[in-house]
């Protein structure tokens, strides 16, 4: 029993004892034997609550209970604090995970956007290169067509001049034949008309004039024929120059197309920083097949040199060279040196 219980029981027992004494006195007073007896003086007993000091054991128990309650309270507070800290740490962990996930998603989105932009840029560059190739091909075809037209015009002009020279030649032959006939007729006339010497002399004068005129016409025809021949030679020389120019232009266009194909077939080596160039010696067959490729001037970077050789092999065969005749192919493409520089 604790201290408080002891404080309540003791006054209660004292009060009960007091009531027992009062009742005993009352019964004695009302009994028959008590009528002749002088009642004793009334003794008034005042009930006073007595407070007893608690024992040492009770005090120790109270202190222990108080200490246990305080320890339990501290443990409860510590548990609540631990739970609150755990909740805060869990909340912080979830927030950190959400932030990390949001960051990862943002980085993934950024990487995807960068990938899309790089792909769009690559497609634009491919389209631009294809357009440039088409324009170069259209320009080459236009130049070839122009050269062909010039060649046809020169040929037509040559044929017209040859036809004119042939007509002049036939005319001179006809005149020469006519001259021979005239001589024959003149001889017959002289033989048949001895008395017409004067007339024959006049005819002879006319014949001489005509012969002179025919001779001058023949000389003029010969001069014109020589002039036509010189003109023909000049036209042939001009045509040869046009053909050479067209061949040079076509060869340059084909070389540009080959370089473009090699660049497209090239794969960038690891840690490539740019600014490198390598000179390659290529040997081709007349059907465009790659016979051999080797390095004639290195870039100083072994990986880059190897990637250039691989790009040439991957880009072969070069069917563009089939359009050239044997002489042009032997001169321009049988063995050629190209400079490979990816940034160009």
pLDDT (average), residues 5-21 = 77
Using the predicted structure, report yes or no on whether residue 272 has a pLDDT greater than 50.
Answer: yes
Spatial separation of the C-alpha atoms in residues 36 and 120, rounded to whole Å:
137
At 241 the pLDDT is: 43
At 248 the pLDDT is: 74
Cβ–Cβ < 8 Å for 312, 262: yes
Using the predicted structure, report yes or no on whether residue 211 has a pLDDT greater than 90.
Answer: no
DSSP assignment of 79-125, as one string? HHHHHHHHHHHHHHHHHHHHHHHHHHHHHHHHHHHHHHHHHHHHHHH
Q: Return mean pLDDT, the chain.
A: 81
Domain ranges (residues) in the chain: 1-54, 266-344
Note if the bond before 317 is cis, omega within 30 degrees.
yes
Place 73 in a pLDDT band, splitting at 50, 70 and 90. very high
**Helix residue ranges, H only, the chain:** 3-30, 56-192, 197-265, 302-315, 326-332
For residue range 110-169, what is the model confidence (pLDDT) as tens digits? 969 979 997 979 997 879 958 878 996 979 997 889 968 878 997 879 897 989 979 878
Using the predicted structure, report yes or no on whether residue 208 has a pLDDT greater than 50.
Answer: yes
Helix or strand run (H / E) with residue 337: strand 335-340
Cβ–Cβ < 8 Å for 338, 251: no
Query: pTM of the prediction?
Result: 0.33
Spatial separation of the C-alpha atoms in residues 112 and 276, rounded to whole Å:
31
Place 235 in a pLDDT band, splitting at 50, 70 and 90. very low
At 7 the pLDDT is: 65
Q: What is the signed CA dihedral for 51, 55, 61, 64, rounded to 10 degrees?
A: 90
CATH 3.30.1150.10 for domain 266-344: yes
Spatial separation of the C-alpha atoms in residues 72 and 258, rounded to whole Å:
90
DSSP assignment of 49-89, as one string? ---PPPPHHHHHHHHHHHHHHHHHHHHHHHHHHHHHHHHHH
Cβ–Cβ < 8 Å for 340, 257: no
């Amino acid at each position: 029993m604790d201290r408080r219980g002891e404080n309540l029981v003791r006054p209660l027992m004292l009060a009960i004892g007091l009531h027992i004494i009062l009742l005993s006195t009352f019964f004695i007073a009302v009994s028959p034997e008590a009528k002749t007896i002088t009642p004793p003086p009334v003794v008034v007993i005042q009930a006073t609550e007595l407070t007893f000091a608690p024992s040492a054991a009770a005090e120790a128990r109270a202190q222990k209970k108080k200490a246990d309650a305080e320890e339990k309270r501290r443990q409860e507070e510590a548990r609540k604090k631990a739970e609150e800290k755990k909740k805060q740490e869990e909340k912080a962990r979830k927030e950190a995970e959400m932030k990390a996930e949001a960051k990862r998603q943002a980085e993934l989105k950024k990487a995807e956007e960068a990938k899309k932009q790089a792909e769009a840029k690559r497609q634009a560059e491919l389209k631009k290169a294809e357009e440039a190739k088409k324009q170069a091909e259209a320009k080459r075809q236009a130049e070839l067509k122009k050269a062909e037209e010039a060649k046809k015009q020169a040929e037509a002009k040559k044929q017209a001049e040859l036809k004119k020279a042939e007509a002049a030649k036939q005319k001179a032959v006809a005149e020469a034949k006519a001259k021979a006939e005239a001589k024959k007729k003149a001889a017959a006339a002289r033989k048949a008309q001895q008395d017409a010497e004067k007339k024959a002399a006049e005819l002879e004068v006319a014949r001489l004039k005509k012969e002179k005129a025919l001779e001058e016409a023949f000389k003029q025809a010969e001069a014109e024929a020589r002039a036509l021949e010189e003109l023909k030679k000049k036209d042939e020389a001009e045509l040869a120059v046009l053909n050479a120019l067209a061949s040079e232009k076509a060869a340059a266009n084909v070389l540009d197309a080959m370089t473009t194909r090699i660049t497209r077939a090239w794969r960038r080596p690891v840690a490539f920083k740019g600014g490198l160039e390598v000179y390659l010696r290529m040997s081709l067959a007349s059907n465009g097949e790659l016979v051999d490729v080797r390095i004639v001037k290195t870039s100083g970077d072994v990986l880059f040199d190897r990637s250039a050789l691989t790009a040439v092999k991957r880009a072969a065969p070069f069917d563009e060279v089939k359009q050239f005749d044997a002489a042009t192919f032997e001169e321009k493409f049988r063995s050629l040196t190209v400079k490979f520089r990816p940034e160009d």
